[in-house]
Amino acid sequence: MKQTCVLSAAALVCFCGCAPHHGSPSQEGVTVFVSILPQKYFVDRISGGLVTCLVMVPPGTNEHSYEPHPAQMSLLSHAKAYFAIGLEFEGPWIPKFASMAKGIRMVHTDSLVEKIASTDADEPRSAPSSESGRPAAGLDPHIWLSPALVRQQAATIAAALEEIDTLHAAAYRANFVSFLRGIDSLDRRLRAILRCDSGEGVARRKTFLVFHPTWGYFAKDYCLRQVAIEVEGKEPSPRMMKSILDTARFYKIRTVFVQPEFSRTSAEVIAHEIGAGVLDADALAYDWKDNLLYVAQKIAEQ
Ligand code: ZN
């Protein structure tokens, strides 16, 4: 189910009032925070509704440069845990969250994840990220878009929920096991859609063009090659544009994917030049599973 809240001056109203997805801190049950909406999907699957999960970055907002609102800081005091994912904005804010909300547990869900460099989706460059909560420079933070990496994040979330709410530990464990089965089934479906179930798929990796380089892990896992228009968070220079156009023509790109939170300008210029269409590929949709299937289908069709 896709979140439809529009970012506006009322972002916080949306944040607090989009029940049941966003919910509000319950008086008795356990409340936790996550950074982005797909993480809420993971927590909801594992908690089976026993936990109220609030989301820090409202729908439609850039996930890299978010500035938490003071009202969110006060909501944090109700939370038992903050599930960080290693996004840049978390670095300076996590220590503030910890000092504002006494007793909140900071859980780094990227602690088991081996990240790749932002610019190269093929080469692992790091050891598992540190537990300090500081994202390592130059590493791709979009780890929620790889089912294999979500297995690892889910393990960290499940272990934390079991410790925080021991009364329901067995339920969290059972839901976690069932979520893992769901991820395995999703993985098989994605491999089938993208024809990535054999060595052949890897040999003829399909190339797709995106504005913001969100899909590096997804590309690495599913026999794809991601070409990004955005360079180090900026619109490309004329020289870079030419090189991207040459690449797009070489691979006969039919679709340029954009993320709703980012500029469409360069994507539209490139699409026009090569006679391609522009299509939204949402990286922050709540319904993580259906969204990955949708994006895979669109890439397969192009
Ligand atoms: Zn991003």
Domain containing 245 — which CATH number?
A: 3.40.50.1980
Work out how many domains the chain is built from and give that number: 2
Q: Clarify whether residues 228 and 174 are in a common domain.
A: no
- Say how many Å lie between the CA of residue 261 and the centre of ligand 1: 9
CA of 159 to the centre of ligand 1 (A): 27
Structural domain range at position 212: 194-300
Are 98 and 166 within one domain? yes
Claim to verify: residue 157 and residue 227 sit in the same structural domain? no
Which of 190, 206, 233 is a domain's end point?
190
Distance 142 CA to ligand 1 centre (A): 6
Tell how far the Cα of 212 is from the centroid of ligand 1, in angstroms: 6
Ligand 1 centre to CA of 217 (Å) is: 12
Domain boundary among 190, 220, 254: 190
Distance 164 CA to ligand 1 centre (A): 30
Do residues 169 and 208 share a domain?
no
Phi, psi at residue 254, to the nearest 5°? -105, -20
Q: What's the 262 CA to ligand 1 centre distance in angstroms?
A: 9
Radius of gyration over every alpha carbon of the chain, rounded to an integer in angstroms: 19
pLDDT truncated to tens, each residue of the chain (302 aa)?
334 333 333 333 333 333 333 444 444 689 999 999 999 999 999 999 999 999 999 988 999 999 999 999 989 999 999 999 999 999 999 999 999 898 999 999 999 999 998 864 443 333 334 333 444 558 999 999 999 999 999 999 999 999 999 999 999 999 999 999 999 999 999 999 999 987 666 667 889 999 999 999 999 999 999 999 987 788 888 899 999 999 999 999 999 999 988 888 889 999 999 999 999 999 999 999 999 999 999 999 98
Would you mind telling me the total number of residues written for the chain in this entry?
A: 302
Cα(93)–Cα(98) distance, integer angstroms: 9
- Whether residue 184 is found in the same domain as residue 44: yes
Specify the pTM: 0.85
Q: Ligand 1 centre from 171 Cα, in Å?
A: 33
What is the whole-number distance in angstroms between the Cα of residue 299 and the centre of ligand 1? 18
Residue tagged 């899909």 (tokens):
215
Same structural domain, 68 and 208: no
**Is residue 58 domain-shared with residue 166, that is, in the same domain?**
yes
Same domain for 249 and 118? no
| 198 and 154 within one domain | no
Query: Quick one: which of 281, 278, 253 has its CA closest to 268?
Result: 278
